[in-house]
Structure 1
């Protein structure tokens, strides 16, 4: 009797006829400028400023040479602390030209966090906006500056010092940068991006030219970008979504970056997409929910939109369907990844069926490997079996800045990155993310994945957005609690009413015991829901301190 075939393992590798790029970021930008000098590179809607690729390259070089005049060189850390603006991009590419390491600083940081990041990475030069919204950056910098030993120069955008830097750079010999570029390697560290730090201090993922240039390039390839594309980017530049998946995807293809506003505004984003005839629109799910809820969404001419990316946190199926139907983004894709992997590991393709694009995060990216393993043993599980998502390849970070022990916790000896995310790979290699290992709720011995329950709650006609967490319970260990945002004008939603809606559709142990209606969820600047904070607040809301 012939033995049965063993089950296929949850492993896949990304093949591609398109080779990896061997350039530095500066070399790649120079290639684009040579081919597309007169095409739009950057449009900043808030100020009306525009740059062609030739103009953008000249200003990048001016900033690079101005920084060099301050003594910034290869390996020095340069911090950038500002909302989205053209200067953010200029500093991004200028530091790459010098081989300096750009340190992205979250615009939402306050004194304690700023001081930690400046000292942990050893920032030498800090470029910052003077202020934004309620954040007085200048005052916070003045407070922490004396406690940051490596910090020698602070340049506030728009200040006399910034203008002097530009003037110095414009008067300098641009050919100097050619000589500097000849000494740089694509494998040099070029960027430190701090993880969101929902627990404890954040870690600085250190990324190379090779990491982020190739990841941005292949994101653009799978979106079908060329020099005709115009990308509307409301997501923050300080995060990989903005600076890699948009900026580097655009400049490696000669496309244009459209900055609708310094921070996300649904109306401004849609107006920018319409006015600039954008072909691509980015956002995290909460942004797309806000845009779909914006009254002007039905009146603006968005027929130019072709594609875009929804990423940053799990993408609700119903929201994805509406983005395709109402915004006309027929080729919209979902990307999955993390800061430590530059960030994208999987992506849906334009040719994928609607079902694939609304229910999975796609298949492995070109030139990468992915697998799903048993979280305890590390052994690859059969397809269709949940486990921890791991990835390997050019995109995996060099490590956490100056923290080899924490690096070793997530990257094994074979260079596999353990993501901490729960996933299932189907027979065709498509992956579904079912949640975070830490988010999984164990109720009375039953494993409950919040994502599954959230997806069902989105089918409720009055629910605009939903998040499910586990809260302490004396009998079952944990119980489910649903936090929901209701549509405007919706009637009050009680726990009993929601449970009745779920009954018969979800197993009894998956039905939320508690319901909490909110106007907004606690979240990071990048739109990731802070479930750790929600759980802490829930204990107080429900009076479970003694549980």
Structure 2
């Protein structure tokens, strides 16, 4: 950024510093210092409360705060909170009937952490958790962190080849999973890639020092099952009983040796453009992201925060905004069901009186469309966080009117940024809630650049969003080449998103650079068309993709999910657009669909949707 300061200003400062007689140049230095402060104020923004005075003059912002970064590990953060609120409820898993206070949760965490050490796992080893939202997920999240073991979040939708790739990529020594969930047979798949498991005598407890001898996953030492007992595998209870007093002492001694800069979590990206990449996050990354998110949401001033958490724990939304926020702010997490269920969410909100609800736009859309919505007492709802993909303004309006969610807050981030970099304030006005993804987070820098030149664009102009700060990951695990593609030498992370900044430090996301449709030389952002089509009274949900066109290169294709009981046609949708949006943005193709291809975290796989539409249209 120093290049932005005028050379004359720098010369002035340098001249004053070189002066032998400082008094002689005190006026010059004072003038120089004032100029530098003025320059800094035009680019930094105090974000402990909503900024009301437009101050930015360019597409660069630095979120400042009176609250310092937290120099603690995950384990230390949990221990601090347990000391403050030992008897407060920490987690509730409704479907399994599990309730734990902070003191009870800490006791379980310490038992598992000591057990992992007793079984031979050590600081820096990798342990994969593979499954839906069950108690053991969050239990092992904190137990592994306390033991200095790196948690690997495995997508529960992974099939054999995918789980084999990820286990080998990070050299996992242990995997925690249920026997099965819905159609996913976790233990069967692990036996397929590691048939040597069956050669272990029933009831034998393997330590990490004894190799399973698998040719396909040579580093795997043990599988820990959360429900039924399986031959050749450990049960969670075995782990909890394995730790002796010496292992508990080892665990206690370890706490002062762990560094908050140590890697502690590997989150795999969706891998839509190739093999999944392991974003490596440190204690410092996720502790501070959760801490400042909670401050922004006002968790420290709400007497009792009860969060409904339908988002998956394997994703940053669940593990950081959920799990880590619990440890940082002493909030209560309510998990309605292992897998996503709109009805289970409604029941959880009613029975536990949840006042905060987390979700992706798709999850909130499904919630609003529930026919029995009016039968539930949802009066406890005060606020929510929506993230994961761009949100249609119409959904935000409906949450405020239909669910009385006055303080719905939009968030933006990426796995590589731990994850949140922009988050609204609960008290933001409707215009900011509807048209932006929130304000820059504390201790975070953002800039919008021209993708072709790397130069910062004028305020309000579109370009690629880049992020720098304590949130940026260490890198992709064992992949310096891919890391170098997204993190510059000066630690700026390239998001790949097209965005713009306003003078208050709020961000508007316009879409993925790679999702941009180029039709006959015109650049078209799908999000703009989607937001317009959401205003059609029959449209429940819409996704816009570019499909192949021989003459123009690409054509606009709108994939529309209609509201229940409604019918429509291509002609009706195109007529609705005419005169309202530019002619080249009007969808050439309109396809009515019942659903979209989704990741397990609720994100729409646009690349797959594009392929499906091209196949359907015979292109």
Note whether the superposition's TM-score is higher than 0.5.
Answer: yes
Query: SS in structure 1 opposite 2:515?
Result: coil
Following the alignment from structure 1 to structure 2, what is the Cα–Cα distance between the partners of residues 248 and 328? 27
Alignment of 1:371-520 (within 5 A): 371-491=447-567, 493-520=568-595
Q: Provide the residue aligned with 2:427 in structure 1.
A: 351
Consecutive unaligned residues in structure 1, runs of 5 or more: none
- TM-align CA RMSD: 1.4
Residue 157 of structure 2 is aligned to residue 108 of structure 1 = yes
Following the alignment from structure 2 to structure 1, what is the Cα–Cα distance between the partners of residues 379 and 193? 48
Q: Which has the larger radius of gyration?
A: 2
Following the alignment from structure 2 to structure 1, what is the Cα–Cα distance between the partners of residues 311 and 551? 42
Q: 1:382-435 CA deviation, whole Å, 9 max, x = no partner?
A: 111100000000000000000001100000011000000000112222110000
Following the alignment from structure 2 to structure 1, what is the Cα–Cα distance between the partners of residues 245 and 539? 58
Following the alignment from structure 1 to structure 2, what is the Cα–Cα distance between the partners of residues 234 and 172? 39
Q: Provide the residue aligned with 2:331 in structure 1.
A: 255
Q: 1:474-510 CA deviation, whole Å, 9 max, x = no partner?
A: 221111000010111102x221111001001010000
Following the alignment from structure 1 to structure 2, what is the Cα–Cα distance between the partners of residues 38 and 289? 36
Match 2:224 to one of 131, 155, 173: 155
After superposing on structure 2, the runs of 4+ consecutive aligned residues of structure 1 that deviate more than 6 Å are none
Deviation at 1:176? 3.1
Deviation at 1:169? 3.6
Deviation at 1:170? 7.7
Moved more, 522-531 or 31-40: 522-531
8 Å CA contact retained: 1:62, 1:170 = no
Following the alignment from structure 1 to structure 2, what is the Cα–Cα distance between the partners of residues 104 and 314? 24
Following the alignment from structure 2 to structure 1, what is the Cα–Cα distance between the partners of residues 139 and 500? 40
Alignment of 1:89-168 (within 5 A): 89-145=138-194, 146=214, 147-160=216-229, 161-162=234-235, 163-168=237-242
Q: 1:425-467 CA deviation, whole Å, 9 max, x = no partner?
A: 1222211000000000011111110000000100111110000
Normalising by structure 1, what TM-score?
Answer: 0.97
Normalising by structure 2, what TM-score?
Answer: 0.86
Deviation at 1:294? 1.0
8 Å CA contact retained: 2:544, 2:557 = yes
Q: Provide the residue aligned with 2:600 in structure 1.
A: 525
Moved more, 262-271 or 296-305: 296-305
Q: 1:180-218 CA deviation, whole Å, 9 max, x = no partner?
A: 111100000000000011121110000000001110111
Aligned length: 539
Match 1:223 to one of 297, 302, 305: 297
8 Å CA contact retained: 2:361, 2:387 = yes
Q: 1:121-161 CA deviation, whole Å, 9 max, x = no partner?
A: 10001111110000110000011123101000111112442
Aligned in 2, Cα 1:170/1:52: closer, same or farther, shift over 3 Å? Answer: farther
Q: Provide the residue aligned with 1:200 in structure 2.
A: 274
Q: 1:342-366 CA deviation, whole Å, 9 max, x = no partner?
A: 0000011112111101110111100
Following the alignment from structure 2 to structure 1, what is the Cα–Cα distance between the partners of residues 497 and 247? 49
Q: Provide the residue aligned with 1:541 in structure 2.
A: 616
Match 1:295 to one of 371, 374, 385: 371
8 Å CA contact retained: 1:61, 1:169 = no
Q: 1:60-91 CA deviation, whole Å, 9 max, x = no partner?
A: 11111111111111100000001001110000
Query: SS in structure 1 opposite 2:99?
Result: strand
Following the alignment from structure 2 to structure 1, what is the Cα–Cα distance between the partners of residues 151 and 180? 20
8 Å CA contact retained: 1:220, 1:250 = no
8 Å CA contact retained: 2:115, 2:247 = no
Deviation at 1:177? 1.9
Consecutive unaligned residues in structure 2, runs of 5 or more: 1-38, 43-55, 195-213
Deviation at 1:320? 0.9
Query: SS in structure 2 opposite 1:252?
Result: helix
8 Å CA contact retained: 2:119, 2:242 = no
Aligned in 2, Cα 1:240/1:326: closer, same or farther, shift over 3 Å? Answer: same
8 Å CA contact retained: 2:117, 2:247 = no
Q: Provide the residue aligned with 1:188 in structure 2.
A: 262
Deviation at 1:175? 3.9
Moved more, 364-373 or 226-235: 226-235
Following the alignment from structure 1 to structure 2, what is the Cα–Cα distance between the partners of residues 385 and 63? 51
Deviation at 1:17? 1.4
Following the alignment from structure 2 to structure 1, what is the Cα–Cα distance between the partners of residues 61 and 374? 41
8 Å CA contact retained: 2:118, 2:244 = no
Following the alignment from structure 1 to structure 2, what is the Cα–Cα distance between the partners of residues 388 and 417? 11
8 Å CA contact retained: 1:453, 1:468 = yes
Following the alignment from structure 2 to structure 1, what is the Cα–Cα distance between the partners of residues 596 and 390? 15
Alignment of 1:313-324 (within 5 A): 313-324=389-400
Deviation at 1:172? 6.5
Query: SS in structure 1 opposite 2:124?
Result: coil
Deviation at 1:296? 2.8
8 Å CA contact retained: 2:424, 2:438 = yes
Following the alignment from structure 1 to structure 2, what is the Cα–Cα distance between the partners of residues 325 and 34? 40
Query: SS in structure 2 opposite 1:113?
Result: helix
Alignment of 1:48-87 (within 5 A): 48-87=97-136
Following the alignment from structure 1 to structure 2, what is the Cα–Cα distance between the partners of residues 327 and 247? 25
Q: 1:288-336 CA deviation, whole Å, 9 max, x = no partner?
A: 0000011232121111111111000001100011112211221121110
Following the alignment from structure 2 to structure 1, what is the Cα–Cα distance between the partners of residues 330 and 248? 22
8 Å CA contact retained: 2:308, 2:333 = yes
8 Å CA contact retained: 1:223, 1:308 = no
Moved more, 320-329 or 279-288: 320-329
8 Å CA contact retained: 1:266, 1:290 = yes
